[in-house]
A and B are shown apart, each in its own frame.
Chain A
Amino acid sequence: MDLAGANQSTMAFLTNLGHRVYSDDFLLQMDRCFGDGDFYENQSDPQKMAQFLSSALDYPDQHFDGALVWDSLEFLSGPLLESVVGRLSNMLRPGSYMLALFHNEERVETIPTYSYRIQDRKTMLLAPRGRRRPAQFFNNRSLEKLFQDFESVKFFLTRDHLREVIVRR
Chain B
Amino acid sequence: MSSIPNRPTESFDATRTGNAVLGKSVVVKGQILSREDLTIDGEVEGTIEMQEHRLTIGQNGKVRASVKAREVIVLGTLHGNVETGDRIDIRKEAKLVGDIRTARIVIEDGAYFKGNVDIVRAELAKPSAAASAPKPSAAPPANSPVSAGPAMAAGVGEVKR
Contacts and interface: CB of A to CB of B under 8 A. Distances in A.
Contact of A16 (B108, B138, B157): B138
8 A-B pairs with least C-beta separation: A6-B113, A15-B138, A8-B146, A15-B119, A12-B138, A24-B114, A12-B139, A16-B136
Contacts of B160: 122-124
A160 B159 contact: yes
Contacts of B107: 6-8, 11
B144 to A, nearest CB: 7
A127 B111 contact: no
A128 B154 contact: yes
B115 interface: yes
A102 to B, nearest CB: 14
Contacts, number: 81
- Place the interface of chain B in its size category: 20 to 34
Contacts of B161: 122
Contacts of B140: 8, 12
B158 A124 contact: yes
Interface residues of A, number: 28
A22 B98 CA distance: 10
A24 B117 CA distance: 11
Given A6-B107, A122-B160, A11 B117 contact: yes
Contacts of A16: 136, 138-139
Interface string A40-66: 000000000000000000000000000
